[in-house]
Amino acid sequence: MVGLKFSEKHVLGGILALLVLAAPAALALPKYRMQAITQFHLDDGSGLAALDRRVMACSYCHVKETGGAPWNPFGEAIRATFKANAEAGGKAKFPEVLYILLESGADADGDSYPDALEVWAKTLPGNAASKPSEALEVVQARFEAAGGVRQFEPQQAQKK
């Protein structure tokens, strides 16, 4: 008659512990950030965008790297768009609000490059120190050739 050896018990216990620990942790990944990454076509499909702050840092919209209040000019513009939509009786969700803002041609940080253009050029629409190196007209032409603001239209809106 053979019982489990001490080491075997620990191996099996380790397996169990791994199974328990392998349960997906409730990672604090802000919903809005992930929605924006998808909408801005920044997700390469690897699934790593959720974990890689270089893809989109919280400071894309917030002042602090940890998120929360206060917001930078682009974040404040999103908030104002939410509020205006609600005041008009709308019930727009984040992707729709983001598109409403980009489509408006607004330039939140006042660097003369519209927010949509900066999103496409991968510079920061809420930071005037971050802007495309080429002239506005050049970038604008390339942006339009690439599909313009409609490339950021939420999937649901495209179906309508």
Partner 1 sequence: MPLHRRDFLKYSALAVAATSGMPGFLARAATQATGQKTLVVIQLTGGNDGLNTLIPYSNGAYYAARPTIAIPKKDVLTLGSDLGMHPSLKPLMGLWDAGQLAWMENIGYPNPNRSHFASMAIWHTADPTQAQAEGWIGRIAEKIGDPFCASNIGSSTPLALRAAEFSLPSIEAVDNFQVKLPAGLEGAFGAMLDAQRGGEADYLVRATRQMLSNTQKVQANVGKYRAGATYPEGKFAAQLKDAARLIASGTGQRILYVSLGGFDTHAGQRGEQDDLLAQLASGLAAFQTDLERQGVAERVVVMGFSEFGRRVAENDSAGTDHGQGSVMFALGKGVKGGIHGDSPDLEDLSLGDIKYKQDFRGVYAGALTNWLGLNAREILGGDFKGPQWLA
Give the DSSP letter of residue 114.
-
The residues binding partner 1 (CB under 8 A) are 1-4, 8-9, 12-13, 15-16, 19-20, 23-26, 28, 31-32, 78-80, 82-83, 85-87, 90-94, 96-97
> Nearest approach, Cβ of 139 to partner 1 (angstroms)?
29
Residue closer to partner 1 by CB (options 86, 141) is 86
76 backbone dihedrals φ, ψ, rounded to 5°: -65, -35
Residue closer to partner 1 by CB (options 100, 117) is 100
Residue closer to partner 1 by CB (options 91, 160) is 91
Residue entry with tokens 């349960």 = 23
How far apart CA 105 and CA 68 sit, in angstroms, is: 26
How far apart CA 16 and CA 144 sit, in angstroms, is: 55
Residue closer to partner 1 by CB (options 93, 142) is 93
> Nearest approach, Cβ of 85 to partner 1 (angstroms)?
7
Number of Cβ atoms within 10 Å of the Cβ of 29: 10
